[in-house]
Amino acid sequence: MSNFEQFLIRALLLVPAVLIAIPLHEMGHAAAAYFLGDRSVRYFGYFKPDPRRFLEPVGVIAVAVALVGWGRRVPIQSNRINTTRQKVLYELGGPAANLAVAIVLGLILQVLQRAGLPYAFELGPGLLLAAVYAIVFLNLSLFAFNLLPIPGLDGWNIIEAIFKSRNARFFFNVTVRRREVWAGCAIALLVFQFLLGINLLSIVMTPFYEPASKISLGVCDGYRVPGLVGLFPCLL
């Protein structure tokens, strides 16, 4: 199979993965908010699996560029979710949903492989299991990426929920300069990749991604679109 065919197949398999993983992440937040007492998420339709409600253009582009991404944040009522515990649980809802689905589909994938079903990134019967793997991978990727302590991601929001009352000015300043922080992170990724040949994103995601991948798939594995992008958050 040519490199172009490999590129095309692996890139196209990301489409159903995106349509599942990103809405699932945001619906996880919505479910957490609902069980914490905010019924507005149901009223405004955040339990309907309509990708158009959840997909955010830049977050989808990030999947093509770096195999990570995010969606439109589910709005909540601050008077319903206002304690530190509630805020932390709400932020964990999205990553938890991705992790749960990755584990379930990963275990199913393992069973089907052991039963002898073909698994290959090429045209044929093995493409179905390859599509399942792409979904598992992107769910693992979103789980690990969104737990990073970067402003705007769930990991940072958890830190803010716990410590903001002790240093409100610091968190305000970070929020104001969020674009600068993201620009700095992007520059650091580019410097490490093109000058040092190191995928920094894979390294920082490893503490979350690797154990989750081993639980769901039995091994730590990543994903590569030949000629475009690759992500392998596993210790070598």
H or E stretch at 141: helix 127-145
Decide if 229 is inside a domain: no
What's the domain count of the chain?
1
Counts of helices then strands in the chain (DSSP H, E): 10, 2
Mean pLDDT for the stretch of residues 41-64: 90
pLDDT of residue 163: 94
At position 50, the amino acid (one-letter code) is: D
Structure tokens at 168: 């409100």
pLDDT in tens, 3-14: 888 999 999 999
Residue 181 lies in a domain: yes
pLDDT of residue 92: 97
pLDDT, greater one: 140 or 47 = 140
Give the range of the structural domain holding residue 207, as residue numbers without chain letter: 3-224
- Asked if residues 22 and 60 have their Cβ atoms less than 8 Å apart, the reply is yes
Q: Please, which pLDDT band fits residue 176 given cuts at 50, 70 and 90?
A: very high
Stretch among 31-35, 77-81, 171-175 having the lowest mean pLDDT: 77-81
Q: What mean pLDDT is predicted for residues 107-118?
A: 93
Percent of the chain with pLDDT over 70: 99
Whether residue 202 is predicted with pLDDT greater than 90 in this model: the reply is yes
What pLDDT is attached to residue 236? 62
pLDDT of residue 26: 96
The answer to whether position 230 is within a domain reads: no
151 and 184 in contact (C-beta within 8 Å)?
no
pLDDT for 44: 84
Segment 107-134 shows an average pLDDT of 92
Identity (one letter) of the amino acid at 12?
A: L
Could you say which DSSP state residue 117 is in? -
The whole-chain average pLDDT of the chain stands at 93
For residue 233, being part of any structural domain is answered with no
Distance CA 148, CA 128 (A): 31
Residues 6 or more apart whose Cβ sits within 8 Å of residue 174: 151, 181
